[in-house]
Structure 1
Amino acid sequence: MKVLLLSLAVVLAPFSHATRIKEVASVAGVRSNPLTGYGLVVGLDGTGDQTTQAPFTGQSLTAMLQQFGVLLPQGVTMQPRNIAAVMVTASLPPFAQPGQQLDINVSSIGNAKSLRGGTLIATPLRGADGQIYAIAQGNLVVGGAGASAGGSKVQINHLSAGRIPAGALVERSVPTPLSQGSDSLQFDLNSSDFATARAVAQAINKAKGAGTAQALDGRVVRVKAPSTPDERVAFLADVENLDVSMAAPAARIVINARTGSVVMNQAVTLQACAVAHGSLSVTISSTPIISQPNALSGGQTTVAEKADISIRQEPGSLIQLAAGARLSDVVKALNSLGATPQDLLAILQAMKSAGALNAELEVI
């Protein structure tokens, strides 16, 4: 725990009070769009879906063969082990044009053991409106590895998911607010903050003239922009690179309950307080007991277990923490407790309830 908090104190650099608008805001509507599709991966080395447990794979194969004029006899059911049903996902970036290539992710939805060496058959990718925006196809790149023999199995990473770099071609573009000819644009801040919205509007008005930008709330800034495409692009290029003065952020501590990572910004301060932290350990030991019947008794040998459970609680001494107005002081105070990341969450919550901590706690 000490190493973790000390390393965070070194990584967290002093807060910069000036940054560019492109780092704190983006033009509304200029964003990526998720695409999804359902397809088949073929060419697997016996590691595909078992059609008896994943019947949709066989149905999909039959439907695909019918498109190529191949009709199966009535009552014939194929059970190949070299195909797998997959979901294909991609992100359509803003301003993407037909013919542009996209990276795609392919994930098995059946019981395929591995997608290594497979080839994705042409799969249409649809947007939220149901329209086709890209077509995906290509050879999979799987980042895992696995081996099995004699009932033993070793696997690194996932074998049931992979990627196809440049595996999709864009078929349709998505219109953006820049091409709609409106006389104004909207900048959306990455995080809601009234001081930042005011600073963005002031920076734009100072560079482009009074009344050009107006902060509507803590996240939205409306900006008057030229109507012609070339002038609008030049205008946005200038606006995105304007410097804005940033106010100090709110004190915040983020704790990852799964990994035990703790991140805090430099606005976190600590008031003088006293904390008592103890430890509780539970030990469970199991001993096998074999019951052997007498000869010719007709009984059976049985195996049972005897479990011993012990609980040990160590009282924690009361530790006085000095007030800390800097991040380094707060880190030293928390390190002196010697608490685990899981215990640290409860300690910080208690400190906040007692008024000794000024930060907002967030658990992810």
Structure 2
Amino acid sequence: MMRKLMVAFVLLTVCSAPAMADRLKDMAQVKGVRNNQLIGYGLVVGLDGTGDRAPFTNQTFRNMMNQFGITLPDGVNPNLANVAAVTVSATLPPFAKVGQELDITVSSIGNADSLRGGTLLMVPLKGVDGQVYAMAQGSMVVGGFGAQGQDGSRITVNVPSVGRIPNGATIEREVESPFSRGDTITFNLMRPDFTTARRVVEAINDNLGPDMAYAHDATAISVRAPRDPSQRVSFLSILENINVEPAQESAKVVINSRTGTIVIGQNVKVSPAAVTHGNLTVTIQENPNVVQPNPFAEGETALEQNTQIAITEDPARMFKFGPATTLNEIVQAVNQVGAAPGDVMAVLEALKQAGALRAELIVI
């Protein structure tokens, strides 16, 4: 049997390009303006025999029936094939007001086969502080489905035990925002960088006047702002549309060893170095032979193994880099020899160990 190892790869390069200015709203977030996660626990009913029979589902069902004034006899376990215990999660956006609606995700926590066709009963959604911020209820939309035969065979498409309810929760409590507090608004850069922070300060001061903005560090930039909320909204609208040219990223080479993807940043350079690298190709071929005994002879038919192993070494490939080799020159050298992803990874790692690769090597 011939066995071959095929490796597919993509060499992605970020080539040098003219720097472009970005809006401040695309580079930074306003401090305190953030999402908040909500979670709840409840029951989904109306399933077509695809529910679960977990002990906590029975307990939850009993508690719900008690709230409606119905007491189940002790020792009686109801058949809950049409009920499933679920967790409900949602994201509360900033400045969300009472009465607005949220999309929610409903996930089974028991052994329910599917939530398709089910209805979520009223569930309070709580924040990390234990307060209820929304109430959820409604009929679910489930993208996955499954089918099972009497012989035990089954097929499942996507995940039928998770569903969503668009606008399935109503906000009951607002989260207090620090947006209107204090005399300043603070922007936090999504990618901390001292040069970018300095350029943001300079751009704001050039547009709004001197000493309007100042940087705390590589991430936070504070801007003096009016106290009146209506004026602060207009002021922030002007700020977030200011264009700033971000600083170039530090030199990095990112290698995904699982997929063979290699990303080389535009500032990567290589010191004078020469690398030779060759490949060994190992071929294993199985040719079993059937051995028959002579006529009228005592013996049994046997299988004789015949294994052939061949090792082929490809000619060594030479990579030669001159002083301050640029990204384009590295890519051209790799493309000219037609190197495989494993070769490129080995070369880059060897250059890093030798101190010739002027970049951070990241393997994910």
Aligned length: 337
- Percent sequence identity is 47
Pair 1:87–1:227, CA change in 2 (3 A)? same
Whole-angstrom distance in 1 between the partners of 2:129 and 2:307:
59
Match of 2:10 in 1: 4
Pair 1:256–1:55, CA change in 2 (3 A)? farther
CA deviations on 1:236-294 (whole Å, 9 max, x unpaired) are 11111101122221122333444444333322334553141535769798x9xxxxxxx
Whole-angstrom distance in 1 between the partners of 2:305 and 2:82:
48
CA deviations on 1:96-134 (whole Å, 9 max, x unpaired) are 111111111111111111111111111111111111111
1:4 counterpart letter in structure 2: V
- Contact 1:274-1:318 at 8 Å conserved across structures: no
Which sits farther off after the overlay, 122-131 or 330-339? 330-339
Match of 1:56 in 2: 56
Whole-angstrom distance in 2 between the partners of 1:121 and 1:281:
62
Match of 1:296 in 2: none
CA displacement at 1:310 relative to structure 2: 9.0
Which sits farther off after the overlay, 253-262 or 151-160? 253-262
CA displacement at 1:141 relative to structure 2: 1.6
- Contact 1:268-1:326 at 8 Å conserved across structures: yes
* TM-score, with length taken from structure 1: 0.82
CA displacement at 1:144 relative to structure 2: 1.8
1:124 aligns with 2:130: no
2:219 counterpart letter in structure 1: R
- Contact 1:102-1:166 at 8 Å conserved across structures: yes
- Contact 2:114-2:145 at 8 Å conserved across structures: no
Pair 1:266–1:143, CA change in 2 (3 A)? farther
Match of 1:33 in 2: 36
Larger Rg: 2
1:249 counterpart letter in structure 2: E
Pair 1:174–1:151, CA change in 2 (3 A)? same
Whole-angstrom distance in 1 between the partners of 2:331 and 2:83:
54
Q: Secondary structure at the match of 1:348?
A: helix
Whole-angstrom distance in 2 between the partners of 1:334 and 1:110:
52
- Contact 2:197-2:221 at 8 Å conserved across structures: yes
Whole-angstrom distance in 2 between the partners of 1:63 and 1:27:
44
Pair 1:58–1:225, CA change in 2 (3 A)? same
CA displacement at 1:178 relative to structure 2: 1.4
Q: Secondary structure at the match of 1:233?
A: helix
Whole-angstrom distance in 2 between the partners of 1:2 and 1:76:
59
Pair 1:270–1:174, CA change in 2 (3 A)? same
Q: Secondary structure at the match of 2:113?
A: coil
Unaligned runs of 5+ in 2: 1-6, 289-303
CA deviations on 1:128-165 (whole Å, 9 max, x unpaired) are 11111111112222222322223322222212212111
CA RMSD of aligned residues (A): 3.0
Which sits farther off after the overlay, 123-132 or 346-355? 346-355
CA deviations on 1:75-96 (whole Å, 9 max, x unpaired) are 1112311111111111111111
* TM-score, with length taken from structure 2: 0.82
Whole-angstrom distance in 2 between the partners of 1:195 and 1:245:
10
